[in-house]
């Protein structure tokens, strides 16, 4: 099964991704859109005026994708709506700026900040280790 990223990548990156996929994947693989086998959740735009380096709930920003911890904390009121944005160890994250790094989060629970997305499998055909490996090839 081949995952199509066309709907989730910036237009400028689509040609490069398609070319890479065509070079490394067998033509016998099926092509599916990512949202057919996984839920894509974009981060929340938490107000930066509540960011600190000393206390609060950890905030996972782009620079933290691939790290095991974060140096930024949210000290504002923790609203009930924010519960949907809590990232746990093992969640798949993609930093959607610059390098588009894809990594499994291995740190403590933290808030999913804007410009970072979480990929949650919704199909038994989604293999998280393969997805992470493959995504980082392209």
Structural domains of the chain, ranges and CATH numbers in brackets: 2-137 (3.90.220.20)
Determine the pLDDT at residue 14: 63
Output the tens digit of pLDDT for each of the chain's 138 residues.
444 555 555 666 666 666 777 777 788 888 788 889 999 999 999 999 999 999 999 999 999 999 999 999 999 988 888 999 999 999 999 998 777 889 999 999 999 999 999 999 999 988 898 888 888 776
Q: How far apart are CA 74 and CA 53, in angstroms?
A: 9
Residue owning tokens 């099926």 = 30
8 Å CB contact between 93 and 107: no
Residue-level pLDDT at 137: 74
Please tell me the predicted confidence (pLDDT) of residue 11: 64
Which residue blocks in the chain are alpha helix, DSSP H?
11-24, 128-137
Q: Within 10 A of 46 (CB to CB), how many other CB atoms are there?
A: 20
The distance of Cα 103 from the centroid of its chain, to the nearest Å, equals 7
| d(C-alpha 128, C-alpha 43), whole Å | 19
């Amino acid at each position: 099964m081949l995952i199509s990223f066309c709907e989730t990548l910036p237009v400028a990156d689509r040609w490069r991704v398609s070319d890479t996929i065509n070079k490394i994947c067998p033509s016998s693989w099926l092509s599916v859109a990512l949202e057919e086998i996984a839920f894509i959740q974009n981060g929340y735009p938490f107000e930066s005026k509540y960011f600190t380096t000393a206390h609060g709930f950890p905030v996972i920003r782009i620079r933290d994708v691939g790290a095991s911890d974060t140096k930024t904390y949210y000290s504002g009121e923790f609203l009930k709506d924010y519960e949907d944005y809590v990232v746990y160890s093992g969640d798949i994250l993609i930093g959607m700026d610059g390098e588009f790094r894809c990594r499994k989060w291995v740190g403590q629970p933290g808030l999913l900040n804007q410009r970072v997305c979480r990929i949650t499998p919704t199909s038994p055909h989604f293999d998280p280790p393969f997805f992470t490996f493959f995504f980082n090839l392209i």
